[in-house]
Amino acid sequence: MDNAPKINLVKIIKKIVLIILVIIGVLAVIYFLLHAVISWRNRNSYYSIESPVALPSSGIDFGIGMTALDVRTKESTQSYEMAAPIPAMAPSAGNAGMTEQKIIKTANLAITVDDVEKTAAQITNDAILLNGFVQNSTITEDRKGQKFANLILRVPVSGFDNLISKIKSLAKLVERENISGKEVTEEYVDLQADLSHNLAVEAQYLELLKRAQKVEEIIAVREKLDQVQGEIERIKGRVRYLDNQTEMSTIAVSISSEAQINIPAEKWQPYVILKQAIQNLIVSLQGFVNFIIVAFFWLISIIPYLLVLGLIYIIARWIYKRVRKPKI
């Protein structure tokens, strides 16, 4: 009798199929992971910012006995003899203490009056008489018949206290009064000093630009000149803002009236209300049905992924059982 072990071809084929399925599952997982990583990297690439071109650190000869490195050094050491004319208003270290005091004045008031519209018009007229203007104005009325007005006024500093006194004289009740002043003299002096320095540096670069001959020399100087001119515009913008805020004060006024009880003038129309309620119900049902449709097709779209995950789970479970199966 032949005791040689018999080869079970069916079992071998099953094992080969299972191994192939495991490989397919692993490859599918790797594919999904790679696809997610590539998509994330491509999306982030749109937000990359190109680094600015730096001025060369070693000697570009400008043909005037000066290199790009000398330009940077000269910014901090050269005197301002070549600088463009500096405005007379720019303070120096010697006269910084003589700079006019710069204070931003603001006020916030809340008052109650009998006639909101009349009071708002009176306050607006008073601001105009003081060479000011209304920056913003709104008047509203709630369902109880109570009116409200909000005004933002800009008036010269010289008329600041005068207008506040007039506003308070028109009030039946001053509910809130908040007056503040922010001193910006030190910042203003620093800005003027920075402006003087940058104007001097700009003049130096303009002179170098006139004497540059090679394209690379022109590009190097032009880049630094653009940076300095950008800083000059930023400083000038801040100076203009401080001038505006210190020359013209800001007063915010909230005006309200006492609540009034008014008999409703509109007719009661229950039929119209019923139609609106039915319409809202239909719209709500339509939204619910739309949600069900979208959810159904979304579930269909993820079925392939669920099948792959289920297959991986079955294979992993079978392998686990084979490994844990006790040998007889």
220-255 pLDDT, tens per residue?
Answer: 888 999 999 999 999 999 999 988 888 889 999 999
Report residue 25's pLDDT band, with 50, 70 and 90 as the boundaries: low
Query: Starting at the edge strand that comes first in sequence, how are the strands of the sheet with 173-183 ordered?
Result: 133-141, 147-156, 248-256, 103-112, 173-183
Could you tell me the two tokens for 174? Answer: 């001053």
Label residues 210-249 b or e (16+ Cβ within 10 Å = b): eebeeeebeebbeebbeebbebbeebeebbeebeebbebb
Contact assessment for residue 202 and residue 80, using Cβ atoms and an 8 Å cutoff: no
% of the chain residues with pLDDT over 90: 25
The H or E element spanning position 55 is none
Cβ atoms within 10 Å of 79's Cβ, excluding its own:
7
Amino acid identity at 76: S
DSSP single-letter state for residue 99: S
The H or E element spanning position 258 is none
Report residue 107's pLDDT band, with 50, 70 and 90 as the boundaries: very high
pTM, rounded to two decimals:
0.45
Cβ atoms within 10 Å of 104's Cβ, excluding its own:
19
The H or E element spanning position 70 is helix 68-77
CA 62 to chain centre: 42
Instruction: Report the C-alpha gap between 244 and 272 in whole angstroms.
Output: 55
pLDDT of residue 259: 65
